[in-house]
Amino acid sequence: MIWIKNDPNFLPLRIRDMFAASPQLEHTYKNGPKMPLFEVMSKDMNMLKDRKKVPVPPISEVSEQTTWMLAVRDQRDRKAFARLYDHFAPRLKGFVMRSGIPAAQAEEVVQDVMLTIWHKAELFDPHRAQVSAWIYQITRNRNIDMIRKERRPVPDELGQEIGTEPDAGQILAVDQEVKQLVQALEALKPTQRDAIEKTYLGELTHQELCTQTGLPLGTIKSRIRLGLEKLRYELKGMR
């Protein structure tokens, strides 16, 4: 990809490549161009034109975490995994320790979670979740599994169909909703923020926990709903 990396004219190509590895391009990377470079590109640009439905967002707007996670998921990219590790491991450790787990054990949880991220990367769907949300749920699940020594009940997985066209607009929208949510969280009064942190750290029972967060969860919920509707959903037979 080096040959297009710094050329702003090929920004759309890079974005496209980030979201959907084109077999043709992949072939080019591995084995060197088999056809003149220009032809490879223009062919891909034509494919881009065919997908009129989504305005491709500028790459700089999608969060780094999302691009790293997609590189891990689609290319098994270790450098991207290292970046994810550097970003999340200290936060994860801090988060887990806040729920009262000593430092050494907290590192065990971090290890477990990071390896789960690597091995279960195919379950990450950026149309519905920002990386932090996905990692949060893995962390809580692993925490409970470790305490109970059995797997906690989880809903049916809704897998993406292989080769589904990624919807960059939707991915970006989820990213931005989450950004706003983080800003709203940071703007809360310390007591309110503390209550929310306690809730999501799992310190409160369902009778005690704080659902009147004062945070605008409605908008992100509608956005995730749109992401869900893009999945091939096999419930029809059941209901």
Partner 1 sequence: MSAITHHVPDSLLAAYVSGNLEHHFALVVAAHVSLCLDCRAAMEAHQALGGAVLDTADCAEVSEALRASIFDQLDAPVAATPNFVRSGIFPSPVMEALKGTPPRWKPLGGGIKQSILSADRDGSSRLLYIPSGRAVPQHSHNGLELTLVLQGSFGDDAGRFGVGDLEVADSDVDHQPTADLDAACICLAATDAPLRFNSLVPRLLQPLFRI
- Number of Cβ atoms within 10 Å of the Cβ of 98: 13
Q: Choose between 35 and 146: whose C-beta lies nearer to partner 1.
A: 146
Q: Which residues contact 183 (CB under 8 A, 6 or more apart)?
A: none
- Whichever of 14 and 230 has its CB closer to partner 1, that residue is 230
The count of residues interacting with partner 1 (CB under 8 A) is 81
CB nearer to partner 1: pick between 30 and 236: 236
- Cβ-Cβ contacts under 8 Å for 159 (sequence gap 6 or more): 122, 123, 231
- Look-up of token digits 């091939």: 232
140 binds partner 1 per the rule CB under 8 A: yes
Q: Does residue 207 bind partner 1 (CB under 8 A)? A: yes
Using CB under 8 A, pick the residue from 52, 148, 149, 189 that binds partner 1.
148
Residue (34 or 91) nearer to partner 1, CB: 91
Q: Please give the residues from 154 up to 173 whose contact with partner 1 meets the rule CB under 8 A.
A: 154-158
Question: Minimal CA–CA distance to 113: which of 94, 136, 130, 129?
Answer: 136
Residue 133 gets the label, from left (phi > 0), alpha (psi -120 to 50) or beta, of alpha
CB of 73 to partner 1, least distance (A): 14
Instruction: Please report how close the Cβ of residue 201 comes to partner 1 at its closest, in angstroms.
Output: 7
Q: How far is CA 77 from CA 33, 122, 133, 151, in A?
A: 22, 13, 21, 29
107 binds partner 1 (CB under 8 A): yes
Binders of partner 1 in range 42-101 (CB under 8 A): 78, 81-82, 85, 88-95, 97-98
Query: Pick from 24, 137, 187, 214: which binds partner 1 (CB under 8 A)?
Result: 137
Read off the DSSP letter of residue 236.
G
Asked whether position 128 contacts partner 1 by CB under 8 A, the answer is: yes
